[in-house]
Every structure is written in C-alpha cells, then in structure tokens.
Structure 1
Amino acid sequence: MKTNNITFILHKPQLSENIGACARALKNFNFTNLCVVNPKPIYPNDKILATSVGAKNIINKSKVFNELGPAVERIDYLIATSARFRNKNIKHISLVDLKKINFNKKVGFLFGSEASGLSNNEISYANYTLQIPTNPQFKSLNLSHSLIIIAQYVSSILKSKSFNYKKSKKVKSASRKEILAMANLCIQNLDSINFFKPKEKKPIMLENLRNIFYKMELSDKETRILSSVFASLGKNVD
C-alpha cells in the first residue's frame, strides 16, 4: 500500500523544532506529504531544516496555507487529533479504529498548535476525532510525539493489511472541495435571509453545519443535487 494518499497537517505550529521533528518522523515511516497552516515562525527557516535532519526534502516539498479550508479541500477523510473529548455530534475513533479506514482514499491527519490544540471550529472540518490513549492524569503530548505515534501505527496497518474495497463505478464520493463549495453556497444563501441570529451564535452554527455535511459522506451526485437545491432557494429569495 502506497503512503502518498496520506497527508499530515500541522495547524498553526509554534515551534520550529517541532516542525522539523515532525518532518523527520514522517520520513522514519516513509510518509512524504506535509502541510503547514499559518505557522508562527518563518517557514521554512534554518532551525526547522536543522531539526529535520535527513528529512529536508519533506520540508522543501511541503505545502503552506494561510487558512485550514484550502489545506483540506482535497482530503476525502480528515481525522483531527485531540487530547480531550468533544461534546460534538462527530465520530470519535481510537487508534485501533484506524484499521477500518480506507487508505485507498485521500486521508489527512490534522494536528493543532502546541499551546491550544484544535478549536471546535477547526474540528468541524473533520470527519472523525482521534484521541491517543495516554495517562488520564497527564494527557498532553508533544506535537511531534503525537505525529510519530500515529505515523507508526498507520505504517504498521499499511504493511500488514491488504485493502480490497469494492467500489461501484457508478458511485463516486464527493471531494472535500465539492462539499466545501456546497456548504459555502448554503451559508451564502442563509446569510442573505439573515438566518444566523443572534450574530454571536453564527460561529457555532457554522460549525454544526460543517459537522452535518462531512458526517453524511455524500456522493458527488448528491452534492450536485444539494447545490442545485441551495442555488434555487437563493434565487427564490431574490
């Protein structure tokens, strides 16, 4: 099983040393795709390259984004790592559950910043949340440590398991880009009718909408149908 379908995404990393160590961890287990979203240090810099040791090629070919949305739009299944349980209607999985993931699809693992992790808004982009089992009295893990645990576990799955998923030629899963476009159209039309009231609750309402859309695992045909529905509703408002 090839590893080029799998991407590791660092959201707002704060320390150059951690970014470099993450790149090194990826190369340890034969992964090559690294995305960095809105990093605090200048990227790349000498310290990042130095701590990446023999993995400078991963840093040099990594992709950098200013926002999370564009970074994940081509991901089929996004798995967000979190040290705490989220009281959200989103699927929570464990390391063992990764064996059920179809790694023939484009899979992304999302990691939050060292200081604050991932917010509920960022979690809302994910299909699943994953918690690494640790000491309940001390759950905090270093960013690169979290990444290397998952990288090693996924690597072992890919080496030991052959995936024989039967895929109908008539059914194609919607891409994250298509779902984002559909969601944005829905939000735009809801904005036009002043749906998001009171205004201070709009962020949480947007989180809930994204959770609904990503949890549905829509096909591209279903996404087109819903987009047409939202577009028609928008015309009726005018």
Structure 2
Amino acid sequence: MNNNNISFILHKPQLSENIGACARAIKNFNFKKMVLINPKPIFPNDKILATSVGAKDIIKQSKNYDNLEKAISKIDIVIATSARFRNKNVKHINLDDLKKIDFKKKIGFLFGSEASGLSNDEISYANYTLQIPTNPNFKSLNLSHSMIIIAQQVASLMKIKNVQFKKSKKIKSASKKEIQSMLNLCIKNLDEINFFRPKEKRPKMLENLRNIFYKMDLSDKETRILSGVFASLGKKR
C-alpha cells in the first residue's frame, strides 16, 4: 500500500482557513496529495499558508483544477463524502467498509463545499458515497474535521498487511480517463440522434448515465470494446 495513491479532493472550498487546516490533516497522517477544484479564495494565499502551519509543502504541491472531471481523470476509485443518504443507485459505505477497498489502486476522497456539500450531479462521478457516523440530530462536520477522521481511518488500515486479491494480474482496471472518454463518445452519439428529450431532462439523464458507468468495475479491455461499439453505432447512421 502506498500513501501516494491517496488523494483528498476539495470541491469548491470556500474558506482559506479550512483549506489550510485540511493540509495539516493530510500531513498529520503522512498523506501528501491534496487536490482543489475551483476554490473560492485565491489559491494559495497568506491565510491558507498561515493556517497550514507546518504543512505548507502540501499547499505548494497541491493541484488546482477548474472542473471535477479533470480532477479525477487519473483516479481509479472515487469515494464521495456525504452527510445525508442519497436516493441514488450508488453504493453507500461506512468507515468500517474502507477495509474492503483495494488501496493498491489510486483512491480519491471527494469533499464538497462547506455551505452545500456535494450535489447529486457531483456524486454521480463517484464509485461510492461515504457517511461518517455522527449525532443524527446534528450531522454537520467541519470540512477539515471530516478529512482528519477519514485520513486517520485510512492510515490505520494501510498499516495492516496487504490483502491478497484474487483478481487476475492480467486484468487491468480502466482508468477514470478511459471511462470518461468512452462515456463522452456515448453521449456524442446520443446527442446526434436527439436522445436527450425533453432538453430540460438532459442533465439528470447524464447524471444517471455516469452513475451506471462509474460504479461498474470495468477493465481497460471492456472499456475499449464499449468505445468501439459506440463508434460503430455512430458510423451506421
């Protein structure tokens, strides 16, 4: 297990203090990768660096993206954190279930903004949703607090002996980038036949499509086959 396989992704963080505190939380447990998507404050800034204290190196090497799709393109498994149950066809897990995750793969823990968390559309990019058990009458957790709880849990799991997975070494799981490319080809062909009707339902239909493909443990070969199918269907028209 490699700590470098773990990324902590902040989607539209709003407060400089929280960004700095998150960097500290990551470094507390010897993780190094923090990813930001459209942070509200200028990044980096003096307040972020001051709050990060001894974790300025985490801030300086953090990557900043303008959208979620780019941020997760090289991640194998995305685990979205959410304080509420989503009535979506996405696997819901708790902290104990993290021991079933293959940490040999590239894992990204996705955190929403302080004010609104993650939308269903953003959740649709995830393989799993993770809920931290809290007081049911007061579920709100500070962003950095949520991160430190998960970082500690993952760090403790990574000290356990590697679990032997029976999956053949010849089978390579598709990357998020490969799945996105396949899905974009599918959407392009569907757009050409005016599939998304009425137009106002298009965002929800795209969300459901992503839910279907991202939760499947597709191999790179299976992804190439599906891409070929979608390309062939486009040519037939």
TM-score scaled by length of structure 1: 0.98
Which runs of 4 or more aligned residues in structure 1 lie more than 4 Å from their structure 2 counterparts after TM superposition? Answer: none
Structure 2 equivalent of residue 17 of structure 1: 17
- Give, in angstroms, the shift of residue 164 of structure 1: 2.4
Is the counterpart of residue 183 in structure 1 residue 183 in structure 2?
Answer: yes
- Give, in angstroms, the shift of residue 215 of structure 1: 1.4
Structure 2 equivalent of residue 157 of structure 1: 157
SS at match of 2:234: helix
* Distance across 2 between alignment mates of 1:81 and 1:120: 12
> 5+ unaligned residues in a row in structure 2: which ranges?
none
* Distance across 1 between alignment mates of 2:152 and 2:21: 14
Letter in 1 for 2:77: Y
Render the CA deviation track for 1:111-157: whole Å, top value 9, x for unaligned.
00000000011000000000000000000110000000000010011
State the percentage of identical aligned residues: 76
* Distance across 1 between alignment mates of 2:147 and 2:172: 30
* Distance across 2 between alignment mates of 1:162 and 1:219: 22
Letter in 2 for 1:12: K
SS at match of 1:8: strand
- Give, in angstroms, the shift of residue 233 of structure 1: 0.9
* Distance across 2 between alignment mates of 1:66 and 1:90: 25
Render the CA deviation track for 1:71-104: whole Å, top value 9, x for unaligned.
0011111000000000000000000000000000
- Give, in angstroms, the shift of residue 167 of structure 1: 4.2
Is the counterpart of residue 197 in structure 1 residue 193 in structure 2?
Answer: no
Alignment of 1:17-36 (within 5 A): 17-36=17-36
Letter in 2 for 1:194: N
- Give, in angstroms, the shift of residue 216 of structure 1: 1.4
Taking only aligned residues, the RMSD between alpha carbons, in angstroms, comes to 0.8
- Give, in angstroms, the shift of residue 161 of structure 1: 3.6
Is the counterpart of residue 43 in structure 1 residue 14 in structure 2?
Answer: no
| Count of residue pairs the alignment pairs up | 237
* Distance across 1 between alignment mates of 2:182 and 2:160: 37
Render the CA deviation track for 1:22-64: whole Å, top value 9, x for unaligned.
0000000000000000000000000000000000000000000
* Distance across 2 between alignment mates of 1:122 and 1:143: 17
Structure 1 equivalent of residue 83 of structure 2: 83
* Distance across 1 between alignment mates of 2:162 and 2:173: 21
* Distance across 1 between alignment mates of 2:149 and 2:169: 35
Is the counterpart of residue 223 in structure 1 residue 223 in structure 2?
Answer: yes
SS at match of 1:30: coil
Structure 2 equivalent of residue 66 of structure 1: 66
* Distance across 2 between alignment mates of 1:157 and 1:35: 22
Letter in 2 for 1:175: S
